A and B are shown apart, each in its own frame.
Chain A
Amino acid sequence: MSSEPVAVVGVGQTKHVSARRDVSIAGLVREAAVRALEDAALTWADIDAVVIGKAPDFFEGLMMPELYLADALGAVGKPMLRVHTAGSVGGSTALVAANLVSARVHRTVLTLAFEKQSESNAMWGLSLPIPFQQPLLAGAGGFFAPHVRAYMRRTGAPDTVGSLVAYKDRRNALKNPYAHIHDPDITLEKVRSAPMLWDPIRYSETCPSSDGACAMILTDRAGAGRSPHPPAWVHGGAMRSEPTLFAGKDFVSPRAGRDCAADVYRQAGISDPRREIDAVEMYVPFSWYEPMWLENLGFADEGEGWKLTESGVTELDGDLPVNPSGGVLSTNPIGASGMIRFAEAALQVRGRAGEHQVVGARKALGHAYGGGAQFFSMWLVGAEPPSS
């Protein structure tokens, strides 16, 4: 028996900001969920199951938040699952929800991810004082910066490429009303003159810390037929993981990421991602990860990713727009960041991305990763139903 086609018929986000002191965590997730229901013209009664994700419990110190949030998400009497894969969780949460529809376990599923970083301390949550071990020596960006240097050495990329990504993403964010960082006075000069925090990473090339939630309504073919707006159809989705540390790990281009992308393209019948995909929402927490992931995801040959960025291919009006929403560099409620990538990819192929719409987008990739390049999750969505 073939699997059920899965459609995204509702997307909802909160306006991402550094601190939403006016709402509880329940109030925050509710806002995104209600917007997704409104987009889909559905009510709580139409939802068969809820799949929720967030980063580790230690971030907000809220143990098993899915228990507390069941009321706010209308989960009473319904299955409610929580997914947990570090920074990639927003993506893998959406995929678990999609699989429930695809397998015909449920017809219509609400999936949601969130983080309220203002009530949290991610740095603390990730650096517990383990006895006998040396304390973490470098802070948040110190984990990533050596890998960026390795990429630059390996490819010979000029050191100006990172600032181009940050300048592009922050300008894209100005077209996205939900993005956290809105700096209308952004200039390339400002990006390049920002302080160097973890050389080679500047402050302007790092992601912010945000409060926010993102929700989607996934449904089957019949549900898609009732949708008031064009759905996005899931053409492929995959997850891969690998250890955070092992001999032979390639931090610049992790094998799990390559394999995950290849699986998604195989499912979606994509043979040339660079030509066949119209928009990409990828998880870029530090600017240099755009050229790195362009290679890892097969959009460029090894060593060539930075050339796409440098030549403007990834700009909003370029040949392969990357992060038209402004990306993680402009908005980072950690647990939600991956789902925002998936949701923004869906908005693009639905033609509902507003001012940051990529003209004529028919196929888009959503990408998330996390846990020290340990977990990868991706989906490819299209404007047309999948052919098989």
Chain B
Amino acid sequence: MKIHIKNGRLIDPKNDVDAIQDIFIAKGKIAAIGSPPGEFEANRVIDAQSLIVCPGLVDLSVRLREPGFEYKATLESEMAAAVAGGITSIACPPDTDPPLDEPGLVEMLKHRAKSLNQAHVYPIGALTQGLQGERLTEMAELNDAGCVVFGQPDGLLPNLRVLMQAMRYASTFGFSVWLYPQELGLTGDGVAHDGEVATRLGLPTIPVCAETIAISNIILLAWETGVQVHLCRVSSAEGLAMIRSARQQGLPLTCDVSINHLHLSDMDIGFFDTNCHLMPPLRGFSDRDALRSGLLNGTIDAICSDHAPVDEDAKLLPFGQSDIGATGVELLLPLALKWGMEMRLPLNRVLAKITTDPARILKIDAGHLSVDSAADICIFDPDNYWKVTAAAIHSQGKNTPFIGMELPGSVQYTLVNGQVVYQR
């Protein structure tokens, strides 16, 4: 299959390209940019007039809910949703049931995902067996099976000694460790940020120090063990300041922010809107503003969708009893664009945060449009606003705080390995 994408505005942040240029695809790879390679005869021509052609998006946190939670979503539904959102590479956290702590499970997931022939799936291996925080997993074996990084998504390890050893072991093989900074002892049964809104609504709270104490521990252990650490979904201004200062001292620390925290604060909970029941909790205005400028100045490396589809009924409960999470893969591009417009940023800087920067953190060769690289491409209309409705969302999870909003950027085509896997 040879594809010619013509007349599009090519934006490739990694190669610093922003120009109207044609792109030529053969054998699943980008054969040429600008003028066709010799004897190129396209089987298909895609006219991208007034559209943007960019690298397929890379999403650092997508819960596919398989194995174990198929009632919330299936691999089929969420993989289809991801490409509908222009995402071609996804990292999935290991908190499935059973957790991704054995090579066999990882191989099965990779195999299932591959047979669907959609986005590339990069499982995050469990750092400890059963995510219990007691015994290390076979990280090298898991790596052979396809885990690129290792994580512990449910909060900080209860035992700091085990965490230190796990980090040390991972660094032996050069694996990076992804941690969601949360001190569970301080989180307790909290469901909302410890601020004015929770005080008004009488909701159990999660103080900011639940995040900062965890970040502090992780930073100290990163210095101690020399492992490359990535912090998932930072939520507070204070936490961000600690990350900035550790980086200034030379620690190779990276972090991401979710689309929800980039745009929302605890005020959006309104009258107990369970779509805003998220983890970490939505924090105050000043936190949100710090995250927005932290992303701008580079303290935050990437935006993730924090895609966590939940069963509809599980949100029709009192706030504290409702399931945590929101659908996100189809909102990653629109909400990144919205942030960029509000910050008055050129598109290549915005797209870097969802293409080349997350690819670098995930240590994969993706998120760019270079000749001879895999033809993973997203083609979208930046000026087309669409309304977020249950019907418009492909994901099985229909819950998001952005439901009913008009957002910019609709994906027209998604290509993975040179094949059109989504067409609007």
Q: Do A and B bind?
A: no
B residues neighboring A (CB under 8 Å): none
A residues neighboring B (CB under 8 Å): none
